[in-house]
A = this chain, B = another copy of it.
Amino acid sequence: MTEYTRGVPVAELKPRIQAFQALLHKRGVDAAIIVQKSDFFYLTGTNQQGWLYVPREGQPLLMIFKEFVRAKAESALERIVDLVSPKKIPGVLETLGYPKPKILGMELDVLPTNLFFQYRSIFDTARIVDISIDIRMLRAVKSPYEIAMIRRAAALSDKLAARVPELLEPGKTEITLAGELEAYARSLGHQGLVKMRLWGSELFYGHLLSGPSGGVPSYLASPTGGSGTSPATGQGAGHRRLGRNEPILVDYVFALDGYLSDHARIFSIGKLPDDMLKAHNAMLEVQDVAKCRGIPGIQAGELYEIMVAAAADRGYAANFMGVGDRRIRFTGHGIGLELDEFPFIAKGQTLILEPNMVIAMEPKVVLPGRGVVGIENSLVVTPSGLESLSSIQEDVVVV
């Protein structure tokens, strides 16, 4: 027999379900059907395929299409049934005595349109409303268990960064170096997949960019882009060969047992020009400002403006977080099971920081034609500010 393990401990799962039910209550939603993979894992502890029905009150019902035996072993939920099609959901709910929902929540930020219309005809007496904001808000504040999981991932981010200097060689291509680091990450348990919620977003480990590649912009909502191996990917490591005296960005996500740590350090073969070192150090100072000011109660948009002002004060108004019209308007993003969680430390965001949110903060200076410098760490919101989950040195590492 195959041995399966629990994805999320029962003591962790129960309060998540209760908190979600409280949000449904507050919103006046009778029940929710959860199908998006990260929300589903968060509330069930399994990544198998099915439908989680969460009524405002009482037991949630996990219905599994594939693979039932596995899901039953992986999930600590009590009520789990085998189900062949979403069309059967109303019948199962009735049999098990669940009242018919009048207002049904679904994740309309990601649910494909054709599926929405299918669910609307299955639940033809209900009104379907978007509960994606609610569940994203719930997921934004991490439990001690989750912080410990991210801390484990961050420790491996540090370990990965510590390996970089041994692998640097002038003339090696970005993609070859990327593969070597990725192999090491895998040997440390990296799950491979880095999940993003936003439709059309995608990332393969992160950005490993040398010299001018660090200044190549892309479609991604990120201060860096990179050439990628072709226009079909259009981001990330490409075929460029590492040179001397240029910044080499290793901005990689460590994905361990579901949880992510986002982490960037700058390396160089031979010394960097003084103005780049200066810009890098300015970004460390901007990070320090964010650490002090990122306390519970501050609005995300306010923290963003503080960081923008701190960069401008140091002379980097024109190159902070990219260059030009479509430069990104954020300095950090929540992180957990996905790379693009709440809160976004972004222009105009009114969301208020709470203790135990985890934020990947990434102040960077982009110098077109020359490269990128700066830092990224995953940090937890504490009463006294942001605490980094990483401990490896933050200066430019010269080999």
Question: Which residues of A come within 8 Å of B, CB atoms?
Answer: 1-2, 4-7, 35-37, 41, 45-49, 65-70, 74, 106, 108-116, 130, 132, 173, 175-176, 178-180, 182-187, 189-193, 195, 199-200, 202, 204-205, 212, 215-219, 225, 227-237, 239, 256-259, 326, 337, 368-369
Contacts and interface: CB of A to CB of B under 8 A. Distances in A.
B182 A231 contact: no
A134 to B, nearest CB: 14
A399 to B, nearest CB: 20
Given A113-B111, A326-B66, A232 B218 contact: no
A227 B4 CA distance: 8
B200 A49 contact: yes
A48 B219 contact: yes
B231 A115 contact: no
A288 B202 CA distance: 37
B2 A216 contact: yes
Nearest to A38: B232
29 contacts: A1-B369, A5-B230, A5-B231, A47-B232, A49-B200, A66-B218, A66-B219, A66-B326, A67-B217, A67-B225, A69-B217, A70-B218, A112-B112, A112-B113, A113-B113, A113-B115, A113-B116, A114-B130, A116-B116, A179-B183, A179-B184, A179-B190, A189-B239, A190-B229, A192-B233, A193-B202, A193-B204, A230-B258, A232-B258
B112 A110 contact: yes
A128 to B, nearest CB: 9
Contacts of A7: 230-232
A326 B337 CA distance: 28
A6 to B, nearest CB: 7
A66 B329 CA distance: 13
Nearest to A326: B66
A236 to B, nearest CB: 7
A26 B303 CA distance: 54
B205 A192 contact: yes
B191 A233 contact: yes
Nearest to A181: B183
A29 to B, nearest CB: 16
A2 B67 contact: no
Given A109-B112, A199-B112, A232-B258, A67 B191 contact: no
A67 B325 CA distance: 10
A112 B216 CA distance: 29
Contact of A191 (B176, B180, B225, B232): B232
A49 B219 contact: yes
A176 B182 contact: no
Q: Which 4 A-B pairs have the closest CB atoms?
A: A179-B186, A232-B258, A7-B231, A192-B204
Nearest to A230: B257
A200 B37 contact: yes
A184 B195 CA distance: 24
A205 B191 CA distance: 11
A65 B324 CA distance: 13
Nearest to A174: B186
Contact of A257 (B36, B67, B195, B232): B232
Given A182-B183, A217-B70, A233 B47 contact: yes
A101 B343 CA distance: 38
B112 A111 contact: yes
Nearest to A68: B326
A1 to B, nearest CB: 7
Nearest to A40: B200
A36 B70 CA distance: 32
A62 to B, nearest CB: 13
